Amino acid sequence: MVVCNLHIVSLKQSISVPAFLAGLRKHDVKPIVQAQVLRWMILPTQLSAGYLLSRNIQWHLLLGLNASDSIPSSLQQHVEAAWTASCGVSARVLSDYAKHNAALLNPSPGSVKPAQLPAVSDTSNSQNLEFSPELENWIAKLAPPLRNHPVSMLNLLAFNEGKKDQYIKYGTEFSSRVGARHGGNVKIAARVVGGEDQQAQHDGWDEVAFVHYPTVKHFAAMSASPEYQEVNRKYRLGALKDTFILCVAEIDDDGQLMGGRGIKGKL
């Protein structure tokens, strides 16, 4: 097991995302994951909610750093706020991550089927991982480079007592019945570690999952599918004490979107 730290970062107005990333490079800090925050898909309701939500902070970046790396002190003055989850990850997963991620971000032509969004139900609730009118409206307003671009979902998970095995069944059913059909691919699955001085573990989170989707429309189509909702209601909802999902788009050092079958654009 290798420890890596996932940092959700809010930057002060005095610095841009590319300038901050250039500062990391200057100090030889090379993120494993480097992404710009797009939107909360599911909000935490208990754990970490006060820090992540109550101050109306605009979060800008998700950074995945090796445990030996940290945000340099010279850049800390540009950080408005940060929240960290320390994760125990398979060494093999991290060593293969760059190659695996590049293949997901740049699929071969014709290998990804377009997502078909069904009619949305007025009773759907995003918090239950359903395709809601709110999500439909957000997708419709996205600029085309983002609407048709690969995204990743950072999932933080806290289990109800005795329900972890139930969630494991959800993961198995998701992988075998639903995920691949909609392009969902788990890139990192990890256990929250680090001791009581680490934010995520101190707040009570148990696990992390970082999941790729070909576009945000594929994520929405999955959440709207009857197959997914059967698995969601049977195994996932009752297993979780709390959760959040943060949608991000991976970027290069200049703030440009990475991958996307030739679609390029700056966030």
Q: What is the pLDDT of residue 56?
A: 86
Is 256 inside any structural domain?
A: no
Average pLDDT score over the chain: 93
Asked whether residue 266 is assigned to any structural domain, the reply reads no
In a domain, 120, yes or no: yes
Domain membership of residue 222 (yes or no) is yes
Domain assignment present for residue 81? The answer is: yes
The pLDDT value given to residue 180:
86
Confidence bin at 195 (pLDDT 50/70/90): low
The pLDDT-based confidence of 177 (bands split at 50, 70, 90) is: confident
End-to-end CA distance of the chain: 34
CATH of the domain at 204: 3.30.70.100
Task: Answer yes or no: is pLDDT of 135 > 50.
Answer: yes
Q: What is the 3-state secondary structure (H, E, C) of the chain?
A: CEEEEEEEEEECCCCCHHHHHHHHHHCCCCCCEEEEEEEEEECCCCCCHHHHCCCCCCCCEEEEEECCCCCCHHHHCCEEEEEEEEEEECHHHHHHHHHHHHHHHCCCCCCCCCCCCCCCCCCCCHHHCCCCHHHHHHHHHCCHHHHCCCEEEEEEEEECCCCHHHHHHHHHHHHHHHHHHHCCEEEEEEEECCCCCCHHHHHCCCEEEEEEECCHHHHHHHHHCHHHHHHHHHHHHHHEEEEEEEEEEEECCCCEECCCCCCCCEC
Task: Judge whether 263 lies within some domain.
Answer: no
Classify residue 267: in a domain, yes or no: no
Q: Structural domain tally of the chain?
A: 1
Note down the domain range covering 149: 2-250
Taking the whole predicted model, whether its pTM rises above 0.85 is answered as yes
| Domain contains 119 | yes
Distance CA 116, CA 184 (A): 15
